[in-house]
Chains A and B, each alone.
Chain A
């Protein structure tokens, strides 16, 4: 099998790539949050894995993701107060699109990755904007590039692609590399964009007003600012 055949096969699933060299199922008791998740949300945890030495990954049921993430953020034993990244993965060939949450607990100095597989016919998940304000643009990016709808997001618009982009969601595996329109049509649409629209004041000042928390208040300790 040549390298080109492998390209034609499409990307392999995460199961196959996660060989013993890069990860294992690990011992959940090594990571308090994983052990606690298995104990408390055992029916919602699909599987778990230890990658790259110390990166724990837990697959959870997307229907209960908000409940689980809220618990991980607020429970004093875990306190994942920093949402480092929200991103998505599409493995192609009809496999589910996964939404990935990369979190860090500054109090307990622990990192945890939560992944929610979403079937292609139901690309919807609850927004966690009410828990971490930092996910605002990150969820918009996942929506823009993968087409995942975040329920309850205050401002779910495209963020990287032009706002009138009509060709779909580019990072999906069923998206053709050069887009769906001809180059002529893409050029015509690009030049018809309203550039000034990107910089309107009301466009920038969107969502609820954000106030810097006073140092030492409860809000700053919770990371709500």
Chain B
């Protein structure tokens, strides 16, 4: 007693052929979630935000040898308004931070972000006055790709992780997934404590003992801070 007995035509075409040939169903049942997620994850349009050498690898990923189009990233969307996934490839200085934030704000929901490479994810070796220490202080990030720069396989794997993430989403949790507080638009994403936590001693800094506390050093304290503690 299957579904086919209750439906006109039996749900199974014995003569003209169903969607997979004769004797196969003429319709499929599925969850709306699965259908919508399937559509979303196979037509992700990336917004390339390439600022440094990672962008070279990103271009290589899009070129014929690696061919992002296989995964639905058919077209790099150079307008944020048609983009689904932001790929931030390369270091982001503070001067560029509001640009990145504005591009993110201009992308329509649903949207995802990939932080590609060490510099975008953490500031990388650039633990200096001019560099954003991880773009997750500016925008929410879904996938971080390590590497300096990551190979195209790395970027493809990151994009497939985004696809996997989309596959897990449910429309019933839409507002949970896609919630965006209008008050945070154009504002720093991480809390101040979180950002201050990023300023701890870093291996490659020549001021390893110094924390950026915000105080303007006097000449005496500046002199002391110039000595290296080993």
Contacts and interface: CB of A to CB of B under 8 A. Distances in A.
B28 to A, nearest CB: 47
Interface residues of A, number: 29
A179 B98 contact: no
Given A177-B129, A191-B188, A186 B205 contact: no
Interface string B186-206: 111010110110110000011
Interface size class of B (residues with CB under 8 A): 35 or more
Interface stretch (A4-12, A14-22, A57-65, A201-209): A4-12
> SS class of chain A's interface: helix, strand, loop or mixed?
loop
> SS class of chain B's interface: helix, strand, loop or mixed?
loop
A162 B222 contact: no
Nearest to A193: B98
Contact of A162 (B94, B193, B219, B225): B94
Nearest to A5: B228
A198 B43 CA distance: 35
A184 interface: yes
B188 A187 contact: yes
B138 to A, nearest CB: 7
Interface string B113-143: 0000000000000011110110001100000
Interface stretch (B147-155, B161-169, B207-215): B207-215
A211 to B, nearest CB: 32
B130 to A, nearest CB: 7
A8 B195 contact: no
B180 interface: no
A46 interface: no
Nearest to A177: B207
List the 3 closest pairs (A to B, CB-CB), nearest first.
A179-B129, A190-B94, A184-B192
Interface of B: 94-95, 97-99, 101-102, 127-130, 132-133, 137-138, 186-188, 190, 192-193, 195-196, 198-199, 205-207, 210, 212-217, 219, 222, 225-228, 230
